[in-house]
Amino acid sequence: MNYIKNTRFLRQAIRGGQREFKLCLSGGLYSRKTITVERNGRFRVANHIDDIVQLLTGRQLYTESNIGRGMRAGAFSAME
């Protein structure tokens, strides 16, 4: 499994065609997310667990979502 370590690696994965990602949770569960990059450079994050869509800067991924915490913990990866 290839963990996404930061927003640079996330952008690379998206440029390579990856759109589906997962954030591993406790108990073997995970939160599935569809992520793309908008023309303005913001990340469009669709959270499948609650159907919420967010437009976030790279910095906001760390401050206004749980993705940054998942990246730092090695719990955020591309879906296989």
Domain ranges of the chain: 7-78
How confident is the model over 12-40, as pLDDT tens digits? 999 999 999 999 999 999 999 999 999 99
Residue 30 CA: distances (Å) to CA of 3, 26, 62: 14, 8, 18
The dihedral through the CA atoms of 4, 36, 59, 50 has a sign that is negative
Q: Which residues pair with 36 in a beta bridge?
A: 44
Task: Please give the model's pTM, rounded to 2 decimal places.
Answer: 0.93
How confident is the model over 35-64, as pLDDT tens digits? 999 999 999 999 999 999 999 999 999 999
